[in-house]
Structure 1
Amino acid sequence: MITDLSPYRQYVDQFDLTEEEKLELVNAVWMLVDNIYDYHLGINQLLSLDKKGKSTVDCEVPPVIVDDVTFSNP
């Protein structure tokens, strides 16, 4: 969790938000980037595989769309 806004201040000061809301925004964006990064490295807790290589999750994870590029499930 990000607690220091100084590296991101130039990006969030343009918005009419309280300091708490700016911190929440930066953490939300960080969480999105972190999840996309984990997805591309194959580090996805929801899609863990059992010993036979089958997914242990009963539901499908929807594809992620970023900048008109769709990333579907591996």
Structure 2
Amino acid sequence: MTDKRRQDGQKKAAGSPSWALRPQHSETLSALGRRLRSEYQPVIQEPIPERLLGLAERLATYDKSGAGHRST
């Protein structure tokens, strides 16, 4: 194994994962974000379905009651 490979392996084990975002990717990520926002804007503006709102309310009530928490 070369020293370069060994160093790369050590970096991955001790630092960021291999898929971590790097500064040189910032422009690409910004462009991707702009494109995704423009594609999904109509969906974001749609009202939330009543069924989903009801489920969210039930989950919030369940969480507030402490029923979802386990004691150890």
TM-score, length-scaled by structure 2: 0.31
| Greater share of helix | 2
Whose Rg is larger?
Answer: 2
Q: Of the two structures, which has the highest relative contact order with CA contacts closer than 8 Å and spacing of 6 or more? A: 1
Scaled by the length of structure 1, what TM-score is found? 0.30
> Per residue, is there more strand in 1 or in 2?
1
